[in-house]
Amino acid sequence: KNEVEQSPQNLTAQEGEFITINCSYSVGISALHWLQQHPGGGIVSLFMLSSGKKKHGRLIATINIQEKHSSLHITASHPRDSAVYICAVTAGQNFVFGPGTRLSVLP
Amino acid sequence: EPEVTQTPSHQVTQMGQEVILRCVPISNHLYFYWYRQILGQKVEFLVSFYNNEISEKSEIFDDQFSVERPDGSNFTLKIRSTKLEDSAMYFCASNSGVLSYNEQFFGPGTRLTVL
């Protein structure tokens, strides 16, 4: 069974800072997803990765399949980035979620 | 922009009662999912559904749970006899691909409270 870990658990940053959230998993996967959960509970998919790197606006996600590790970076962070960021992995149709990283960006 | 919708947004029920949570996935999507998140805990996979049958389910998805796609648009999760520990936020999701490699689109969730 895949175990997904994230670090840090909680992160407080000042507006404008560069942020990195890490995810590691224990067994091979088909894909890795980065999700954003807003304070109200809604979940939005940010990235789906199976290799390499993806960029969307100020967000960058990378994955190293050999090391079973992924990172989510936020450049020029903003208070509206405050949310819980969740890493989820899938092999087949079963998704395993990480515990989430709670990010607070202060103005 | 198409979106996944869920009803109701909040359901309160008595222990032992049956509940049906409803979802309308994005219309051209092929895979459908239910997840739950107990307050303060991580999201957990319940079940995936493709081609009118369950493709995978977790240990949580026991005989008390069932899913159905009764028509071309709705996707439902039924809990036959609710327990206190079923209280959680339930999220429906869909994706367009044949594989789970594609982006997941989540509904806003239904908060289930079992008294």
A43/B31 touch (CB, cutoff 8 Å), yes or no: no
Q: Does A102 touch chain B (CB under 8 A)?
A: no
Q: Cis before residue A79, ω within 30 degrees of 0?
A: no
Interval B33-75: pLDDT, tens = 999 999 999 999 999 998 899 999 999 999 999 999 988 789 9
Predicted confidence pLDDT, tens digits, chain A (107 residues): 778 999 999 999 999 999 999 999 988 888 899 999 998 889 999 999 989 999 999 999 999 999 999 999 999 999 999 999 999 998 777 789 999 999 999 99
Predicted local confidence at residue B98, as pLDDT = 55
Which residues between 15 and 54 in chain B have a beta carbon less than 8 angstroms from any beta carbon of chain A? 31, 33, 35, 37, 42-45, 48, 50
> Which site among A51, A94, A96, A101 would you substitute to test the B interface, given the most B Cβ atoms closer than 10 Å to its Cβ?
A94
Please give the full DSSP string across A30-90, using - where no structure is assigned: SEEEEEEE-TTS-EEEEEEESSEEEEETTEEEEEETTTTEEEEEESS--GGG-EEEEEEEE
Pick from B5, B48, B47: nearest CA to B25: B5
- Of B32, B40, B38, nearest in space to B67 by CA: B32
Average pLDDT value for chain B? 92
DSSP H/E element including A61: strand A59-64
What CA–CA distance (Å, rounded) separates A41 from B76? 20
Whether A93 and B35 lie within 8 Å, measured CB to CB: no
